[in-house]
A and B are shown apart, each in its own frame.
Chain A
């Protein structure tokens, strides 16, 4: 079963604009990860944020985590056409020592040149 829900399901913006995607999850977690997937391809790891962190940056990416609301957001600044892809958040199962990831349904981002 899917852990999280992502919002919006689809997002269309112009190149240069910022894109914000949100993710909510249900259970306790140790960390949350964001992945990108280009059409028909595998997933590319973008960034991981631990449950005791509130914000993390990597290049044009900014991730926030609010464990009290069980939610996270991914901000892509100054978007480019090459950012067009599906973006997924994934959480571990906080009560389980195993590392299986539980994914949301994803946000499909389209960046128009």
Chain B
């Protein structure tokens, strides 16, 4: 399967714990995006990378959140001191913009439940 993969698919954690998610993009894609989706809502942008550079971060991304893409391939999203409000689906997408078109391909998501 050459699509975007995410690990784990599900994570249950207690409030106050740290969690880390991983995303492996489509291999030739240079852009990688993180989104968060809560129940009944559309995804909301968190941050994105072009190669290893983090180019934009949403105001949603508090200082408890950090994302990395150290070698321009896979990315990790870490949430420190989780809160119940962090419970959501975390989606990763990748793309390779061509002629002004940035068609993003999404992974299956990591569902986080904070108890």
Chain A's interface: helix, strand, loop or mixed, by majority?
Answer: strand
Q: For this complex, into which size category does the number of interface residues on chain B fall? A: 20 to 34
Chain A residues with a Cβ closer than 8 Å to the other chain, count: 25
Shortest distance between the CB of B99 and any CB in chain A (Å): 10
User: Is A48 touching B103 in the complex (CB atoms < 8 A)?
Assistant: yes
Task: List residues of chain B with CB within 8 A of the CB of A42.
Answer: 4, 6, 91, 106-109
Instruction: Pick the residue among A30, A43, A50 that contacts B106 (CB under 8 A).
Output: A43
Task: List residues of chain A with CB within 8 A of the CB of B58.
Answer: 100
A47 to B, closest residue via Cβ: B103
Beyond A99-B104, A102-B45: 4 further Cβ-contacts under 8 Å? A2-B44, A42-B106, A43-B43, A100-B45
- List the 7 shortest-distance A-B pairs measured between CB atoms, nearest first: A103-B42, A99-B102, A43-B106, A100-B45, A42-B108, A42-B106, A42-B109
A40 to B, closest residue via Cβ: B111
A99 to B, closest residue via Cβ: B102
- Interface set, chain B 65-115, CB cutoff 8 A to A: 89, 91, 93, 95, 97, 100-109, 111
User: Is B109 touching A41 in the complex (CB atoms < 8 A)?
Assistant: yes
User: Is A98 touching B91 in the complex (CB atoms < 8 A)?
Assistant: no
